[in-house]
Amino acid sequence: VTPLDDALVEGPETVVVTLAAGSGYTIGSPSSATVTIADNDAAQAAQVVAVRIFYNNSAFDGNNPAANAQDDRAIAPDKQPLLPGGTASFANYTSYSKGINGLMVDIQGLPGAPLPADFVGTVGNSDTPASWAPAPAPSVSVRAGAGVGGAARVTLIWPDNAIQKTWLRVAVQANGRTGLAQPFVFYVGNAIGETGNSARDAQVTAIDQLLIRNHPASFLQPVELLSAYDINRDRLVNAADVLLARIHATGPSTALRLIRVP
């Protein structure tokens, strides 16, 4: 069997099989045949193994807007991306006062250095993402081996409040820099001041203000990442958080929708 070098060839590959005389096997006449075999390169493609939402430029990462290892301390443990075919819930959007300003995409087998253009974003608040508007481009940085299972951790950062009170759709492109065999699409949202008090909607109302007021936290006993009442993520729950919920109050027509995505 004489195969082509798999490392040099993309797509289906050809081998020539020749049977020795007297081997007891036949493949018809003549005694050699050309066979097309499946491409093995797809099995070697990179994969997105995790997407993380984090509160960039918050007390949890040292109030540092730059991408660095401290950002891992600001990952929201109760949030996850909304994937195609899913219906949104409080697990898919944040109430952070600075909007969506930090995401991490862990890519196992990342072959290159991704560019901002490799993360195509759109923003909107409907069940038809095809009609959404282009999102600002993020800054992109990579920390090798920092992701889940030793994957490369690609950090995407946007300026504070550049994306807020809306949904963000991100399509990680499939190309030589990402190594993906096909695009990876996910959604995350933001509703400033929302405490997740209702599973039916994401409206920010007087109820959210009351819940924040009833869960105070001071320097003596600061809150952790899981707090739904620390709107500005300074580890305190006080009048500043109540005010944010009041300023960003929404109703049925202005609230973040619990979308169902195709």
Report the alpha-carbon distance of residue 208 to residue 121 in Å, rounded: 30
Query: Which pLDDT does position 241 carry in this prediction?
Result: 98
Cβ atoms of residues 154 and 139 within 8 Å:
no
Query: Which pLDDT does position 203 carry in this prediction?
Result: 98
Residue 10's alpha-carbon distances to 44, 112, 169, in angstroms, are 11, 18, 30
Task: Please state at what angle helix 206-213 crosses helix 239-247, rounded to 10 degrees.
Answer: 170
Residue 214's alpha-carbon distances to 203, 229, 234, in angstroms, are 19, 9, 17
Q: What is the chain's pLDDT, residue by residue, as a tens digit (262 residues)?
A: 444 444 333 444 445 555 555 555 555 555 555 554 444 444 569 999 999 999 999 999 999 999 999 999 999 999 999 999 999 999 999 999 999 999 999 999 999 999 999 999 999 999 999 999 999 999 999 999 999 999 999 999 999 999 999 999 999 999 999 999 999 999 999 999 999 999 999 999 999 999 999 999 999 999 999 999 999 999 999 999 999 999 999 999 999 999 999 9
Query: Which pLDDT does position 11 carry in this prediction?
Result: 46
Report the alpha-carbon distance of residue 225 to residue 219 in Å, rounded: 15
3-state DSSP of the chain: CEECCCCCCCCCEEEEEECCCCCCCCCCCCCEEEEEECCCHHHHCEEEEEEEEECCCCHHHCCCCCCCHHHHHHECCCCCCECCCCECCHHHEECCCCCCCEEEEEEECCCCCCCHHHEEEEEECCCCHHHCEECCCCEEEEECCCCHHHCEEEEEECCCCCCCCCEEEEEECCCCCCCECCCEEEEEEECCCCCCCCCCCECCCHHHHHHHHCCCECCCCCCCCCCCCCCCCCCCECHHHHHHHHHCCCCCCCCECCCECC
Tokens of 55: 């509160």
Tokens of 30: 């003549």
Q: Is 63 left (phi over 0), alpha (psi -120 to 50) or beta?
A: left
pTM across the whole model: 0.84
